[in-house]
A and B are shown apart, each in its own frame.
Chain A
């Protein structure tokens, strides 16, 4: 262990990391800070530069400019010292199709000169067991399904005890059961103090597993922080009422900067009663449990100090005909879409 293994330092840090392929800027001045001990979600749509960043962090590709340090050491300068402590799944699993699963792991293990040969077989068996592949260990990888290859790829990252795991899209191709097992695995590894860096384009996955996240879009880092920080400040309370002006007055009196929502033009007469909405601040204390996302109903303290039920009571008392009321919690998805743009099109 390096003396740098203090609490509060960074497992991965990039400063103005830039990678250019010809005229295309794949990664554009990214300043990433992955705290030691976190489960860090690296989010972004396809082609946003996630895998390229990972390749640079692991010394597979050279940065055009900027600096990277992993586990407190500069990369790729101290690659030989750093990488034995890092387990990685980069851009999908890759194996020799003509070798068995166990033989593949043994082969890749020989490439790590810090890996003791005496324990190789035991470590391979243990890694296979952890990903549920013990029964397929002697089967050739050419006979593996996509999900089995994915499991084998994760097993490869677990061959040695690691301080940092970099998992690029770890649940790709896995069935729901496999996805669940990966989450449990990540949780258990994290519990043992391993920092886990997970890239994904699946928001739900990050919301379920991670403590921190960063969002990439078109090569740029557009947000990073704890999940709560990323979601914070974006909640809204919405009131559906024909008495919009009165509702706005009541809410403003309660300390919320309310405003009527514009009526979507294409709805015309079918739009019905107008909505009045106001931003709320999420309760900052503690993380909102993922299971409660989307139907947040607990009586947490809202922005102006008012509880939702008090707002409803105030509205009714003021004679506002409340025909609908909801508290919208910002999901990470809202944030993600707001930051990266909505469409299906690959930006570049």
Chain B
């Protein structure tokens, strides 16, 4: 058998040339391992890479585009309709859209919160660990070694970044659609005060922040689900179904004692941000609740993932 002969660099098609390059790498090895684990900034590379992979992925763009379509569709529908939207019908603030285009963004968020936002967040967060496990890349990240705790943190931060991107996308698309199709002027707040255009944008972004925070609890739950399976679709579906079930429970008056504990309870309570001065009490209550969910399900995900045998 001829292939038992050593083939030092002589074979064609990229056969490794052995000598010098390896010596070079070996020399680098000496210097690298001398300084080896003491590279505190090295850990952040994974977070940068995670955001890169997430936001360069075509699926992420498709999700964000679908979200952007919601306020645009609302704006176009209202613009094309001959009837003025009457107060009290349709989503809140819909009747104000024709007076001030900025309300397209608010209406878009309200329409997206019950289903579209949890759906897209569920897809991303359900994919975090289970997606890597399904591809098999999880074992390579862990033998790199990424560190299990750090990988969980990075995955959660990536999901949180998507939550922010999702809400900002809805708000931005809404503002742009409003600017394009309706008159935009000083905004009359729920408290009766009027604010200028610049501050109106600020309020819109504040609402986006509120909704982002609202989604952090759900993200933690999805991260936990994602550590339970190697089938990402399973974790996605479980997360989305749970968000729907929670909202159904929140609408049943018989379960009123339970409502303050449901992660979706404050999802639509951002009206306080449209008052002058801004009332941050609902923001605080919401943030506290979401932090509770993050702690609980973060701990569960940690407990599960740290001891899990990676067999995929």
Contacts and interface: CB of A to CB of B under 8 A. Distances in A.
Interface string A225-268: 00000000000000000000000000000000000000000000
Nearest to A103: B53
B3 A176 contact: yes
A83 interface: yes
B16 A117 contact: no
Contacts of B142: 59-60, 111
A108 B137 contact: yes
B14 interface: yes
Contacts of B45: 110, 113, 115, 117
Contacts of A34: none
Given A61-B311, A107-B53, A114 B36 contact: yes
B145 A181 contact: no
A139 to B, nearest CB: 15
Interface residues of B, number: 52
Contacts of B1: 208, 290-291
Contacts of B14: 129-134, 181
Contact of A188 (B18, B32, B136, B151): B18
Nearest to A208: B4
Q: What size tier do the contact residues of chain A reach?
A: 35 or more
Given A55-B310, A192-B26, A291 B145 contact: no
A60 B145 CA distance: 10
Given A85-B33, A110-B46, A189 B309 contact: no
A187 B6 contact: yes
A155 B13 CA distance: 15
Give the 6 A-B CB pairs with smallest separation, nearest first: A132-B14, A94-B136, A161-B29, A113-B42, A111-B144, A188-B18
29 contacts: A1-B34, A59-B145, A62-B307, A79-B145, A85-B36, A86-B143, A90-B139, A90-B140, A106-B49, A109-B144, A110-B45, A111-B46, A113-B43, A114-B36, A114-B39, A129-B14, A161-B25, A180-B3, A181-B11, A181-B13, A181-B15, A184-B16, A187-B6, A188-B16, A188-B22, A189-B22, A191-B22, A289-B4, A291-B1
Given A60-B309, A289-B4, 15 more contacts: A61-B311, A94-B136, A96-B135, A109-B144, A112-B146, A117-B42, A117-B45, A130-B14, A131-B16, A177-B11, A180-B15, A181-B14, A184-B6, A184-B16, A208-B3
